[in-house]
Structure 1
Amino acid sequence: MSIEIKLSRFNRIYRSNEALEGKLIMKLTSSISFQSIRLTVNGTVNLQVRGGSAGVIESFYGVIKPIPIVHEVLEIQSFGKIGPGTTEIPFFVTLKDLKEENREKFYDTYHGSNVNIQYLVTVDVVRGYLHKSLSATVEFIIESENDNFPVKPVSPEMVFFYITQDTQKHPLLPEIKAGGFRVTGKICTQCSLLDPIVGELTVEASAVPVQSIDIHILCVESILIGEKIATESSLIQTTQIADGDVCRSMTLPIYVILPRLLTCPTIFAGPFSVEFKVSIVITFKSELSKKHSNYDPRTPRLWLAMESVPLELVRTKCMPQLLASSGVARICSIYYEISETSTSVNCLYYLGHCQRLWTFGSPAL
């Protein structure tokens, strides 16, 4: 015998105050009797402090008491008997934002290192003391309520950056520091979760050849423990925008698609917070970098130049923006057209091809 929960929406995405519909599918080889069939909807914020992000005393706390968001129990059927074969039992429950019960608001689904926001629906078929109960659980995804969206689209906020040997807080290789380098550009610091992170980058000067340019998305999770705050950053995605030494004074586009379950709107709650950062990392060619091919990109190295900017993510739709440079604007417009008509995999492949053509100065575009 088997039991399965099938939700009405194939993507399992819902919003607060919407109806959570579905059906319970039971496949039995023989008839069974039951005392009740109960449906439970649970939403919690699970916080965990690991030893690496806290002191010795804080690490003893381990898993902190979960923060409840929603807990609803609904009885689908009281008692009865189910015959052999396949039986489908529909269910319906409305997700409510129970502010009057001093519960937390509906946060977006998020799976992080120390912060986990999860929503589950569970169906239990209680058969009595002499028989084992049947149970099935499925996760559904919560996104922010549409009523909270601004009436007009929010344009991405751009910030200008420049990276030189003087802006680095960590030591560099002597040949890199003596020869000098200068990288300038701009990147989006506020954007919608539905849109990519866009920007541009230019290597104006560099005495040492560039090996790679990468864009890292970092998540910064903070948890309040007593009077202290435990903070830990984790790498959630890396996008390479240049491979090999690039032409000087040539503008490279930045186009980074955000991962769905590893990102959420920036959260500043009382007991915890979830923030994001964008890190531009330039790797220079050196014999030392070849010996340390596997390293943590969050840790400064002698052959790396880094610059980090805060990233605010919101649940709204941003208008596509064309950058100032005509060549970059043309490429970005191609990006946008492809993203509207092709799959993300094909889009990324073509984007990499465009960037590679421009990196080596091809006049194809």
Structure 2
Amino acid sequence: MSLEIKLSRSHRIYRPNEALEGKIVAKISSSVSHQGIRLTINGSVNLQVRGGSAGLIESVYGVVKPIPIVKKTIVVQPSGKIGSGVTEIPFSIILKDKGKEDQEKFYETFHGGNISVQYLVTVDVARGYLHKSLSAALEFIIESEKDSLPEKPISPETILFYITQDTQRHTLLPELKSGGFRISGRVCSQCSVLDPLTGELTIEASGTPIQSIDIHLFRVESILVGDHVATEASIVQTTQIADGDVCRGLALPIYVILPRLLTCPTIYAGPFSIEFKITIVITFQSEQTKAQKKFDPKYPQPWVSKHIKLFVIYTILLSLKYLMMGI
């Protein structure tokens, strides 16, 4: 005896103005009676404050109450029977009610460390007090409506940056200071979330050989807990764009594919916010590098040069707004 939900779209991606359609598949060896089959969609923002970001606040609050987005229930079938074998029951439910565009705010699906935006469809088959009810659940993905997207500019803005020993705020190895280095580059300020983040980087000069050039993608999650704001930055992915000592004056392409469920439009809501930043990391060859090959990218090392840029993701379009924060 099993119950399963199959949506009409294999990728399970829907927009708020569309109907969630699919079928309920019941596999039963012998017919059973039921008191009704109900389908429920439930969307919420789940918040959790961890000790690393909140300290003492965690012991008082811990898990913050979820923020409801949508909850709807429909009766797919009234009381009756489900025959033996495989039974398929179709369903259709509107996600956003017409006339409630201002009241219902559908955030895009996001799986973060402390914040997650999740949408579930659940089916329940009630069988009375003497029998255990049957249930099944499935997550579906919400993306922004196409009509609400801003128009893509004809010529996307390009942000220029440069990295030298003078832009670093942490301690560098003496060999890096004496030899010096200069790295310049550019990154396109707008792209689709479904498209890669592109640009280029050039090693203009470096007295010390380079070991690796990486781009770290971070998420910055902030939660309002009482009178305090708990903020934590965690790494999402690392993309290596160069391995070994690269040629000077050669333009290296920057090509970063954004993980869809681990990124989302930047959100500035009252009780929480979700932002993203990229860090360009230049690792130089040295004896200390050989002794300690792994390190936390959030903390600078004397043989590493870093350059941080904050960016904002809007709906399907990715708008990069950079803030120079030479570390």
TM-score class normalised by the smaller sequence:
over 0.9
Check 1:156–1:230 CA distance in 2 against 1; reply closer, same or farther (3 A cut).
Answer: farther
Partner SS state of residue 24, structure 2: strand
The structure whose residues are more often helix, as a share, is 1
SS of match in other structure, 2:132? coil
Distance 1:154 1:11 in 2: 31
Secondary structure of 1:9's aligned partner: coil
Name the structure 2 match of 1:233.
233
CA separation of 1:230/1:97 partners in 2, compared to 1, >3 Å: closer, same or farther?
farther
Q: CA deviation at 1:104?
A: 5.1
Q: CA deviation at 1:152?
A: 4.4
Give the structure 1 partner of residue 322 of structure 2: none
1:284 aligns with 2:284: yes
Q: In the alignment, what sits opposite 2:324?
A: none
Alignment coverage as a number of residue pairs: 318
**Contact (CA 8 Å) 1:68, 1:103: kept in 2 or not?**
no
Contact 1:99 1:105 in 2 (8 A): no
Distance change in 2, residues 1:143/1:97 (3 Å): farther
Cα deviation for residue 315 of structure 1 reads: 3.0
In 1, Cα distance between the equivalents of 2:12 and 2:101?
26
CA contact (8 A) 2:265 2:316 kept: no
* 1:1-365 matches, cutoff 5 A: 1-96=1-96, 105-153=105-153, 155-316=155-316
CA distance in 2, matches of 1:64, 1:151: 36
- Residues 182 and 204 in structure 1, CA contact (< 8 A), matched pair in contact too: yes
Amino acid across the alignment from 2:57: I
The answer to whether the 8 A contact 2:281-2:305 is kept is yes
Q: TM-score, normalised by structure 1?
A: 0.83
Cα shift readout 1:43-62 (whole Å, capped 9, x = no counterpart):
00001100001131344311
Structure 1 residues 135-144 or 57-66, which shifts more? 57-66
CA contact (8 A) 1:196 1:255 kept: yes
**CA pair 101-15 structure 1, distance change in 2 beyond 3 A:** closer
Task: Report the CA distance between 1:314 and its aligned residue.
Answer: 2.6
Distance 1:214 1:296 in 2: 13
CA contact (8 A) 1:111 1:261 kept: yes
Change in 2 beyond 3 A, CA 1:266/1:117: same
> Which stretch of the first structure deviates more once superposed, 184-193 or 268-277?
184-193
The Cα shift of 1:199 comes to 0.8
Identify the structure with the greater strand proportion: 2
Asked if the contact 1:210/1:245 (under 8 Å) is kept, the reply is yes
Once the 2 structures are TM-superposed, how far is the Cα of residue 63 of structure 1 from its aligned partner?
A: 0.9
Confirm or deny: 8 A CA contact 2:120 2:137 kept in the other structure.
yes
Give the secondary-structure state (helix, strand or coil) at the position aligned to 1:166: helix
**Are residues 157 and 229 of structure 1, via their aligned partners in 2, closer, same or farther at CA, if it must alter by over 3 Å?**
farther
SS in structure 2 at match of 1:65: strand
**Structure 2 vs 1, CA of residues 272 and 215 (structure 1 numbering), >3 Å: closer, same or farther?**
same
SS in 2 for 1:64: strand
Report if aligned partners of 1:119, 1:142 keep a CA contact under 8 Å in 2: yes
1:177 alignment partner, SS class: helix
- Partner Cα distance (2:155, 2:46) in 1: 33
Specify the SS of the correspondent of 1:176. Answer: helix
Structure 2, unmatched stretches of 5+, are 319-327
1:303-324 deviation line (CA, Å, top 9, x unaligned): 1000011122233468xxxxxx
Letter in 1 for 2:3: I
Identity of aligned residues (%): 65
Shift of 1:228: 1.4
Structure 1 residues 97 and 143: CA distance shift in structure 2, 3 A = farther
The residue number in structure 2 matching 1:327 is none
Residue 253 of structure 1 and its aligned partner are, at CA, apart by 1.1
C-alpha distance in 1 between matches for 2:11 and 2:107: 18
Q: Which amino acid aligns with 2:168?
A: Q
Q: What SS does the corresponding residue of 2:270 show, helix, strand or coil?
A: coil
Paired amino acid for 1:195? D
- In structure 2, do the counterparts of structure 1 residues 278 and 235 end up closer, same or farther at CA, with 3 Å as the change threshold? same
1:301 alignment partner, SS class: coil
Q: 1:185 to 1:96 in 2, by over 3 A?
A: same
Matched AA of 2:64:
I
Q: 1:51 is aligned with what amino acid? A: G
In structure 2, C-alpha distance between the alignment counterparts of 1:99 and 1:229, rounded to whole Å: 34
8 A contact 1:20–1:93 mirrored in 2: yes
Residue deviations 1:79-114, cap 9 Å, x none? 011121000011110001688598550000000001
| TM-score, normalization by structure 2 | 0.93
